[in-house]
Each structure stands twice: as C-alpha cells, then as structure tokens.
Structure 1
Amino acid sequence: MDFDTVAGELYGGDLAEFVSARNAAAKAAKAEGDAELAKRIQQLRKPTTAAAIVNTLAHEDPDELQELAGLGDELRDAHTRLAGDELRALTRRRGELVRRILHGLPSMSDPVSREVEATLEAVAADPDTAALALAGRLTSVAHQDTDQWFSLAASVPPATGKRPAKLVDKAEPAKPKRDHRREEEERAKARAERDRLRKEAAERAKERATAERDLVRTERAAEQATARVEDLRARLAEAEERAERATAELETAKAAFDEADAAARKAANAAG
C-alpha cells in the first residue's frame, strides 16, 4: 500500500463512499504497522461535489482539462508580451472550451454548475490549480481572480502597426512639445488607481481566504460527524449481532430445559 495509490483510488471513487473508504484505508495501513501512512491517509479531505466532478474528468477524460491548462500557459505568455489581440482570442477560446466541458457533464444544480465553471476557469488561470485538477486531487472549489484575463484583454490595445491618427496629424507640421506637468499628473493618477486596485485585490483575497478557512472547518466538522455516525452504526450492528446470538442461546437453553423437564415428568409418572 502506498499513499499515491490510495489517494488516486479515493479521489477517483464514489464521493458518497469517500469517508468510509478513507477510514478503511487508514485502518488497513495502521494494521500493517505504517502509522505515518495511516495518518497521511486520514488527513485526506473529502472533496466537494464540484471538485469531485472535475476530479472525475481528470480520471475519465483528461484531454479537455489538459487543453484548458495549456490555454492557461498561452494566456500568461500573451499577457507577459502584452499581445492584446492574441490575449483576446485566447480568452474567447477559454470561454468556449469551458462551456463545451460543462455541456458534456451530467445535469447538475445551478450552484454546483457555477462552482464547476469557476474551478474550470481557475485551471486556466492558476498553474497550481491546474496541476491538482490534472492529478484528480482537487478537494474544494478553486476561486481565482480569473477576471484579470478579461480586463487585461480589454485594456491592451490591438497591434495594428499604425500610429494613432491624432499623432499622425500633429506630426506633419511640427513635433508638439511634451506637457511634462500633464504627464506627471497622469502618472500620479495611474499610480493611485493601481494602488487602489491592489488594495481592493488584497481585501478580496483576504475575504476569500476567510471563506476558504470557514469551508475547511465546515467540511472537517461534517467529516467528523459522518465518522461518528459510521462508528455508531458499526457499534449498533455489533450490538444487534450480540443480541441475536443471545436470543439464539436463550432459545437453545429453553429447548434443553423443556426437554429435561419433559424427561423428568415422564420419569416421575413412571415411578408413580
């Protein structure tokens, strides 16, 4: 038994059986004398419904997930080069691919569908999320700032190879003097806007981190409750089995008593 094999089987298996299968695997590892492996297995988190759906894609049909992760690499490269036209085209391709993947999935509720869509977009936006998704090891919905690709694609001007019309018009008679004061004011405004956006992004990241922590706590509480229920069910089954054995023993003893009593009566009648 090794950790990767167990994790692969758990995350590729039935979500409803995850906790019981994980506990059984941890118990088996402990019985084999590998306490450290048992501890690692027991710490594996049960995936959410949306994460389990994406994990299933990785195990059953990974081609589209790999294509989505590859698009993410191309998006980041286009962003680095400020290739506006290419960035916009890649963004459209990403949206089309996400919709195609969603269309091929079984029917699901709107909230789960939105979570799956957010996770698929995160696969294209974040290499770490892509790696987890391709390995089929996602445990919760991945929330990434994927809107950055849309905003960046809209803000980068298309590469036409031509000078703006206004500059062409002014270039013919004489080169205009640069307004350094205005340029400085524009740069100051740009810096202020950049700082505002960074602060807003940091606040959103903090809120997201808090939400993730709350989700983890809730999931762990649910797992613990499920484990307690399973333990109680096991104990109940054992108690019922003991009760059945006791009932059978009582019936046997009663039959033996009735037989002995009948024999005693018969002997007493014969003696009388």
Structure 2
Amino acid sequence: MGREGVKGGGDDDVEAVLDELYALPPSGFVARREERAAAARTAGRAGDARRIHAARRPTLAAWAANLLRHSRPDEAERFLELGRALREAHATLDPSGLKELSAQRRRIVSELSRQAAELARDAGHPLSEPVRRDVETTLRAVLADPEAAGLWATGRVEGTLTPPSGFPAETAAGKGPARQASRAAPVTAGRKDRLAEQRAKRLARAREAARAAEEGLRARGAEQEEADTSLAAARELHREAGERVSVLEEQLREERAALERAEREQREAEKRARTAADSLARARRDADAAAAEAERAEQDAR
C-alpha cells in the first residue's frame, strides 16, 4: 500500500502522514497535524486520529536534523553505518585508534551540521549558532547511541538528542559483559590472537566507514562548491539583466512622457485646426453674404 495520506486507512497511511508532518518546518506543524487528525476522524479512523494528534512538534534543531536525514539520504546512511562501526569498535580500541576516529568523527559531524544549516536556510529558516550546536549534539548522539540512531533514521526527531558521556559499554553485538568476564579469567594465547583479530577487524570497519563518510562529504562539498559557483554566476547575470531592465524602464518612462507630450500637442493642434476651420467657414459665409448683398445692390441700381 502506498503512503498517500489518510484516505485509504491502515498503518501505512499513518506513517505517510507522520513523514509528511516531520518534513514540515515547525511553524506549519500543528495546523497540518490538526488537519490530518480531523481527516482521520472524519474517515472513522479514531485510532489513527489519536496517533496523529499525539505527534509532537519538533524543535527547530530537530527539524533541521530531520531535514538532513530526508534531503541527504546517501550521507545519512553512511553516517548511520559509521555510528554502528564506532559503537562496535569503541570498547576494544587502543587510545591511538580512538584518537584517530574521534578526529574523523568531529570533522564529519561538523560538516553534516553545516549541511543541515544550509538546507534550513534554503528552506527559509536560518539557524542561529545555539540551534546549530543543538544539531551537532543530536548528530553526536546518533553516532554514540543506537536508540538515537534509530530515531534519527526515521526522520522524526522531536527535540535535541543528547549523547551519553561516552560510548555505551555494550557494543552493537551485545558483547560488553563477555569482555568484562574475560578480563577476570586467564586468557590463552589463542584467545588473545582472536581478540586482537576482532579488534583489528572492528577498527578496519570503523576506519572504512569513516573514510566512506568523509569521501561522501567531500563529494557533496565539491557539488556544493560547483552549485555555489553557478549560483554566483546566475546572480551576476541577474544583476546585469536587472541593470539593463532599469535602463530600459527609464528609457520607456522618458518615451512615454514624450508620447504624452506629443499627444497633448496633437490635441491642442487639432483644437486650433478646428477653431481655424470654424473661422474660415464663418468668413466664407460672411463673404458669400456680402457678395450676395453686393449683387442685389447692383441689380437695384439698374
């Protein structure tokens, strides 16, 4: 079943409505939510209406994070994969490995938060510096906390997600307690080799995920730079065209003023011509009358 609103009924319709709501800027969320909930109630779907009505309006930072998830799906998937790899590898890495991955993580989070701010600005809702920091906090939580990652993956974050003080002790594979028990028991050489191999694999996976994420961001940055260059060129063409239009509009105003003057002069000339024609007609009538009178006088004199 497709996600096309609340007309047909079923969970897919509710999911489509929620997707729609959380893609909206916060300013339009409540009105649209009430509209959608009312439509569900009118259709006799009271349960769906309650679920829709229970949706909470996201903060501006949460909306920007959701916008990033929906608008940059490839980068978002790489970011989620990086989080899974980091959580899996975190407890087994040595300090040097952690330092390397932490630096990459900071760069990726910073770049993604910048992209979120650009998307929000392009949508007409620029982010203040505190709001952008909230976006960064949410992205750090997505890397550190699987629950935060799962929520962001849905694109329905409602508020700022807060990362734990450190990555969780349990890995994505759920092997935290087993690692703690292994510290208390003697470790054979073979087991040490296996643990070292597991750590190496986890580190390699985390490094690969970080590399893929950074490469994706670099590619996106190159695209953005090209788009910015095109935008700057388009703006310059627009400015030049605007200047030409201004000159032409001024010329048009002058020509219109000249046309109006010519029309006034034409009307005045036509008026003078009519007056002259009337005067000429009267003069001709007077002349004709005088000629007739002279002719009568001449006949009387005979």
TM-score using structure 1 length: 0.52
SS in 1 for 2:21: helix
Counterpart for residue 232 of structure 1: none
The 1:112–1:16 alpha-carbon spacing in structure 2 relative to 1, beyond 3 Å, is same
In structure 1, the gaps of 5 or more residues are: 150-272
Amino acid across the alignment from 1:140? G
Contact 1:69/1:127 (<8 A) preserved: no
Determine whether 1:9 maps to 2:25.
no
Q: Which among 155, 169, 180 is matched to residue 136 of structure 1? A: 155
Determine whether 1:148 maps to 2:159.
no
Contact 1:68/1:94 (<8 A) preserved: no
Q: Which among 89, 93, 110 is matched to residue 99 of structure 1? A: 110
Amino acid across the alignment from 1:109? S
Structure 1 position 60, deviation (Å): 1.0
The CA distance in 1 between the partners of 2:144 and 2:74, in whole Å, is 17
Contact 1:22/1:42 (<8 A) preserved: yes
Q: Deviations over 1:224-270 (max 9, x none)?
A: xxxxxxxxxxxxxxxxxxxxxxxxxxxxxxxxxxxxxxxxxxxxxxx
Counterpart for residue 133 of structure 2: 114
Amino acid across the alignment from 2:84? D
Q: Which among 124, 147, 151 is matched to residue 143 of structure 2? A: 124
Structure 1 position 133, deviation (Å): 1.1
Counterpart for residue 236 of structure 1: none
CA radius of gyration, larger in: 2
The CA distance in 1 between the partners of 2:25 and 2:113, in whole Å, is 20
Structure 1 position 14, deviation (Å): 2.9
Counterpart mapping for 1:1-272 below 5 A? 1=6, 2-104=13-115, 105-106=117-118, 107-145=126-164, 147-148=165-166
SS in 1 for 2:148: helix
Contact 2:37/2:49 (<8 A) preserved: yes
Structure 1 position 111, deviation (Å): 1.2
Contact 2:25/2:60 (<8 A) preserved: no
Contact 1:62/1:134 (<8 A) preserved: no
The CA distance in 1 between the partners of 2:38 and 2:160, in whole Å, is 28
Contact 2:62/2:157 (<8 A) preserved: yes
The CA distance in 1 between the partners of 2:166 and 2:69, in whole Å, is 26
The 1:76–1:83 alpha-carbon spacing in structure 2 relative to 1, beyond 3 Å, is farther
TM-score using structure 2 length: 0.47
Question: Percent identical across equivalent pairs?
Answer: 37
Contact 2:87/2:143 (<8 A) preserved: no
Contact 1:78/1:84 (<8 A) preserved: no
Structure 1 position 93, deviation (Å): 1.2
Amino acid across the alignment from 1:148? G
Q: Deviations over 1:81-129 (max 9, x none)?
A: 2343332222111101011112222352121011111001111011111
The CA distance in 2 between the partners of 1:70 and 1:83, in whole Å, is 21
In structure 2, the gaps of 5 or more residues are: 1-5, 7-12, 119-125, 168-302
SS in 1 for 2:44: coil
| Residue correspondences, number | 148
Counterpart for residue 264 of structure 2: none
Counterpart for residue 253 of structure 1: none
The CA distance in 1 between the partners of 2:33 and 2:78, in whole Å, is 31
Q: Deviations over 1:126-173 (max 9, x none)?
A: 11111211211100000122x425xxxxxxxxxxxxxxxxxxxxxxxx
What is the CA RMSD across the aligned residues, in angstroms?
Answer: 1.5
